[in-house]
Amino acid sequence: MIFKFFAENPTAAYFLVILAVVFSYFIQFRLQSTFKKYSRIGSRNNVPAHVIARRILDSYGLQHIVVRHIDGNLTDHFDPRSNEVALSDSTFFSTSVAAIGVAAHEVGHAIQHNKNYMPLKIRSLFVPVAQIGSKGWVILFLLGMIMGIPIFVDIGIVLFGCVVLFQLLTLPVEFDASRRALNVISGQGLLERDEIGGARKTLNAAAMTYVAGLLVALTQLIRLIAISGRRRN
């Protein structure tokens, strides 16, 4: 019913996508401003984020995982293939509340990997499918529309649907990593009690970027299905 509505009202489908994109930009702005705010607040322990990351890893017996510095701003990530927690320019040497929260979050992913966290395993299995979908959906969808081959259009939509599903599977992984980060920060006394709120707000703002990304992709999927339905009609 919803797809029929958007097929009959294409302007509404475009408007939905625009709203999602605007929301995504707002969330990105909120992340940048939140990180900037709490990057100016140094932790009273005065320990750099990369040292904090190393301490947490060692406390979980993950001495084999390397903490390394990478270029960029908020490009922090955990790479399970190389067993590396990569911390960006804005995080690695910083002693701020925000940087420690981000570093602990990435270590949270390392802990997930070590504990065979099921949502992470499912997401990892889905990576090749999502990669194929992200590269192939546009070509097939456009070919199908231009050449009038409905099966190509349908396959393109299914492939893009796989991208959307991957983003959906990412949400519990990211939220759980933040939960683990805040628990270990509190449990090991890595931040003072009144400083944990700043780390929490930073991680919540970061998590919302994944929610916004999912909403943009989902509205785009609705638009593609609506376009296909309108073309068939």
* Parallel, antiparallel or unpaired: strands 66-69 and 77-79: unpaired
Round to whole Å and give the CA distance between 44 and 139: 53
Of residues 8, 84, 106, 174, which has the active-site annotation? 106
For residue 52, give both structure tokens.
């904090």
* 85: enclosing H helix or E strand: strand 84-87
Do 230 and 9 meet the contact criterion of CB atoms below 8 Å apart?
Answer: no
Please confirm, yes or no, whether 192 is among the known catalytic residues: no
Burial class (CB in 10 A: 0-12, 13-18, 19+), 14: middle
Q: What Cα–Cα distance (Å) separates residue 138 from each residue in 123, 131, 144, 163, 232?
A: 23, 13, 10, 12, 19
Going by C-beta distance under 8 Å and a sequence separation of 6 or more, which residues neighbour residue 69? 50, 86, 87, 88, 89, 92, 93
Classify each residue of 194-219 as buried b or exposed e, where b means 16 or more C-beta atoms within 10 Å of its C-beta.
ebbebbbbbbbbbbbbbbbbbbbbbb
Round to whole Å and give the CA distance between 18 and 54: 42
Do 120 and 179 meet the contact criterion of CB atoms below 8 Å apart?
Answer: no
Instruction: Indicate which residues carry an active-site annotation.
Output: 106
